[in-house]
Amino acid sequence: MNGSFEATIGLEIHVQLNTKTKLFCSCLRETNNLPNINICPICVGLPGVLPKPNKRAIILAVKSSLLLNMKISRESFFERKNYFYPDLPKNYQISQYRIPLAENGHLELRNGKKIGIQRLHLEEDAGKMIHSEGGSYVDFSRSGIPLCEIVTKPDISSPDEAYEFLARLHRVLTWCDITEGNMEEGHIRCDVNVSVRPKGSEKLGTKVEIKNVNSFRFIKEALEYEIARQIEKIRNGESIRQETRGYDPTTKKTFIMREKEFAHDYRYFPEPDLLPIIIDDYLIEEVRREIPELPDSKKKRFEEEYKLSEYSSEILTSQRILSELFEDLGNKFDDKKLVANFILEEILRSVNEGLCDLKRDYIKIRESAEEILLSQTKGELTRNLAKEAFREVIEGKADIHSAINKRKIKTESSEIEQAVEKVLQNNPKEVQRYKGGEKKLLGFFIGEVVKIIKADPKLIREIIQRKLG
Ligand SMILES: [Zn+2]
């Protein structure tokens, strides 16, 4: 359908940096449900205050730049971006403009395609307007929170590529603790621009911007709709208007928010209250040392060293904490696949069902899994019993030892023999039929024995066969 057209997509991403405090004051970065918590004269822009830069925010921005293969500016500076809005009490935002912290990088997609990154700069967040029935309110808790703005080059050519780019960016930034990356909390916000043009045409089509889409999946859907809409318009001989659109996930359609007004003149000028940002080799090396083994390399290592499938390795490296759990547990067992499967099936299921949280309950998860897998490798628990025991512990219904002990398979054959004896005595007719050749009754006997005693079915089978000749 889209055969004769091609799309050009650019992304502008705001990433909230995982610092303890705000960008220019010592207020805590955390926001909670109460408005106007953690604010001070600096972040609400009272006259006469002096901003003081947060070194950690600069370090995290440098780390992002290294991860995105960017050229770091050895000297950059903050500028004032002037505009009026009620959630911006200073009437300007401190940002970077002429010289950003870093330029010219890329992030590689799975198929090796490199998506160029034009620039990365630091800026402060604005407050938040809350519109409700009684009127409009301003919450300044978010004012001054450090953001890193990342702008791609127009290298993305499909909604799938946009989605993959965002997912990979999210993974590497959360992996290195640059952002908490919680989408619902708005830790990563993304604006998209998209145009289409006939294939092979040199001239780019008219750009439409899509704003305020709050999940990667919705961004992909919005792009799919928008590309089809633009192609249809062009086919019908209509022109594309330069405008800003929103996306409604229920109708899966984009809608017009506003026509593009004249380009803003933000009257940028250097922030006179802040010194330039100087980044030297020493700082870059210090930051480089903080970067852990990255997901792609870990994934490859899991496949080669532990012989895990590509699929398992991919999921185990989707979050750093998951890969660490695997390595922590894997160190204790020879059978790495057993550990990988237990994490992928049991632990992730419990996490997805909201029964536990990898970060909050890390120690409990690791210790229970270790005890359970240990019992399983000793033959005391079958795979199913191991699952049951883990679930019971995670649901908080039993401690790990009682969960295991009450399921432990009896391995002493005397007890099993007694149970078998009892079953055979209680079912004389079936015993006759079995002896007469109805061998499929073996399953019936095993079932009856299991009702009396939890034991390894293989062992039960052997004992029954022996007793019945
Ligand atoms: Zn403050």
Measure 39 CA to ligand 1 centroid, in angstroms.
4
Per-residue pLDDT, 410? 65
pLDDT tens digits for 323-336?
Answer: 999 999 999 999 99
Measure 175 CA to ligand 1 centroid, in angstroms.
28
Per-residue pLDDT, 260? 67
Per-residue pLDDT, 294? 96
Query: What percent of the chain is predicted at pLDDT more than 70?
Result: 98
For 144-202, the DSSP string reads: T-EEEEEEE-TTB-SHHHHHHHHHHHHHHHHHTTS----TTTTSEEEEEEEEEEETT-S
Per-residue pLDDT, 71? 97
Per-residue pLDDT, 32? 76
Per-residue pLDDT, 269? 95
Quote the CA–CA distance of 186 and 202 in Å, as a whole number.
37
In 3D, which of 344, 412, 337 has the Cα closest to residue 376?
337
Measure 142 CA to ligand 1 centroid, in angstroms.
10
Quote the CA–CA distance of 410 and 455 in Å, as a whole number.
5
pLDDT tens digits for 275-298?
Answer: 999 999 999 999 999 999 999 999
Do the Cβ atoms of 400 and 393 come closer than 8 Å? yes
CA angle centred on 38, ends 138 and 32, rounded to 5° = 75
Q: Which helix (H) or strand (E) holds 103?
A: strand 102-108
Measure 43 CA to ligand 1 centroid, in angstroms.
4
Measure 128 CA to ligand 1 centroid, in angstroms.
15
Measure 37 CA to ligand 1 centroid, in angstroms.
10
Per-residue pLDDT, 412? 64
Measure 95 CA to ligand 1 centroid, in angstroms.
17
With a cut of 50, say whether residue 392 has pLDDT above it. Answer: yes
Measure 24 CA to ligand 1 centroid, in angstroms.
7
With a cut of 80, say whether residue 236 has pLDDT above it. Answer: yes
Query: What percent of the chain is predicted at pLDDT more than 90?
Result: 70
With a cut of 80, say whether residue 312 has pLDDT above it. Answer: yes
Measure 48 CA to ligand 1 centroid, in angstroms.
14
Per-residue confidence band for 231, with pLDDT thresholds at 50, 70 and 90: very high
Measure 41 CA to ligand 1 centroid, in angstroms.
6
Ligand 1 is an ion; residues with CB less than 5 A from it: 25, 27, 40, 42-43
In 3D, which of 289, 361, 376 has the Cα closest to residue 325?
361
Token output for 79: 């500028």
With a cut of 50, say whether residue 431 has pLDDT above it. Answer: yes
DSSP for residue 115: E
CA atoms within 13 A on the CB side of 232: 6
With a cut of 80, say whether residue 217 has pLDDT above it. Answer: yes
Per-residue pLDDT, 405? 86
Quote the CA–CA distance of 329 and 331 in Å, as a whole number.
5
With a cut of 50, say whether residue 1 has pLDDT above it. Answer: no
Mean pLDDT of all residues in the chain?
92
Measure 46 CA to ligand 1 centroid, in angstroms.
11
pLDDT tens digits for 92-131?
Answer: 999 999 999 999 999 999 999 999 999 999 999 999 999 9
Measure 42 CA to ligand 1 centroid, in angstroms.
5
Measure 23 CA to ligand 1 centroid, in angstroms.
9
Token output for 244: 């800003």
Per-residue confidence band for 3, with pLDDT thresholds at 50, 70 and 90: low
Measure 16 CA to ligand 1 centroid, in angstroms.
16
Per-residue pLDDT, 170? 97
Rounded to an integer, the average pLDDT of 372-383 is 87
Per-residue pLDDT, 75? 96
pLDDT tens digits for 52-92?
Answer: 999 999 999 999 999 999 999 999 999 999 998 889 989 99
Token output for 411: 């391995």
**pTM for this one?**
0.83
Quote the CA–CA distance of 383 and 372 in Å, as a whole number.
10
Quote the CA–CA distance of 60 and 290 in Å, as a whole number.
10
